[in-house]
Amino acid sequence: SAGLSRLFSERRLHLAGLARGLPDPHDLIGAAAQRLDDRAERLRLAADGRLRASRHSVDLIAARLRPAVLSAELDRLRARAAEFEPRLRAAMARFVDRSRHSLDNFAGRLATHSERHESLLARGYVVVRNGVARVLTGSADIRAGDPLDLEFHDGRVGVIAGSKPRPRTRRQPTPPGQGSLF
């Protein structure tokens, strides 16, 4: 038991030596408590400053919301609107005139196009439409048996497409006996 007692005694001495190297817990807590108090005071001062700044901003806004200030601002805006009214009326009149001129121009072009269509039909051209009244522009769009509508200058005729057209026969060359005068 004497050996065990000595072992505990050595361990106690070793532990006491290690404990001397550690800072005092009261000192650690005291430094942290001092920092906490400092930060709390700074936070209180900052909050007070922010509150004063916000109160000042609200006071400035409230000063602008007084009835006399609002009435003066409203009168100023009415005067500006009165300045714009004649210019706006003139601009609207110009816009309407330009739109009317543009519409008249378009109507004239449309009438010319219609007259051109009618003059083409009068010269012998035909407009070919399929069964759903869509204009066909090429022979590839037509199949045998399709109902077609042909528009001439003097009316329309309904027809049924037949087979492919017969190939043109070539003109026989003139006999070499007599030459051309041209």
Backbone angles phi, psi at 156, to 5 degrees: -120, 150
Q: How many CB atoms lie within 10 A of CB 136?
A: 16
Summarize pLDDT for 71-125 with one digit per residue, the tens. Answer: 888 999 999 989 989 999 999 999 999 999 999 999 888 877 767 777 888 888 8
Residue 28 has pLDDT above 70, yes or no: yes
Taking the whole predicted model, whether its pTM rises above 0.75 is answered as: no
The CA-atom distances, in angstroms, between 128 and each of 115, 144, 154 are 18, 14, 14
Classify residue 66 by its DSSP letter.
S
Q: How far is CA 163 from the centre of its chain?
A: 54
Q: What tokens does 15 get?
A: 């532990």
Summarize pLDDT for 128-165 with one digit per residue, the tens. Answer: 999 898 998 888 888 888 899 999 989 999 998 887 66
